[in-house]
Amino acid sequence: MTLLLPNPSRRVDEKRNAVRFIGHDGMFEVRFFVEAEALVMADAELGRSEISESKLLSAFDALRLSIYEVARKAYSSGRDSYTLTAADFRQDGFRC
């Protein structure tokens, strides 16, 4: 089934130290998390400053298209976990 990402909302999940966003596969809601570490590695400015919720969300927004592409690949591979790490981005050739 194809993963749709129609909802642009995202939020920081402090418990997981990640940014959470939602996709849909036509029938079910699919939760994804991008580890804060992956965002810090991808955003040089963020890596040099104190990490805050607003900075993590800004980094997510700047990388949204790459994040969505990696999320679609993770979903289509049938993974059980949808926590995207820096390794997920590196293996796909993104700047993380």
- List the domains of the chain with CATH numbers: 10-86 (3.30.160.140)
By the 10 Å C-beta count (0-12 exposed, 13-18 middle, 19+ buried), 62 is classed as middle
Q: How far is the C-alpha of 72 from the C-alpha of 82, rounded, in Å?
A: 10
pLDDT for residue 18 = 96
> Could you tell me how far CA 18 lies from the centroid of its own chain?
8
pLDDT digits (tens, 9 = 90+) for 3-62: 999 889 999 999 999 999 999 988 889 999 999 989 888 766 666 667 889 989 999 999
What's the predicted TM-score (pTM) here? Answer: 0.84
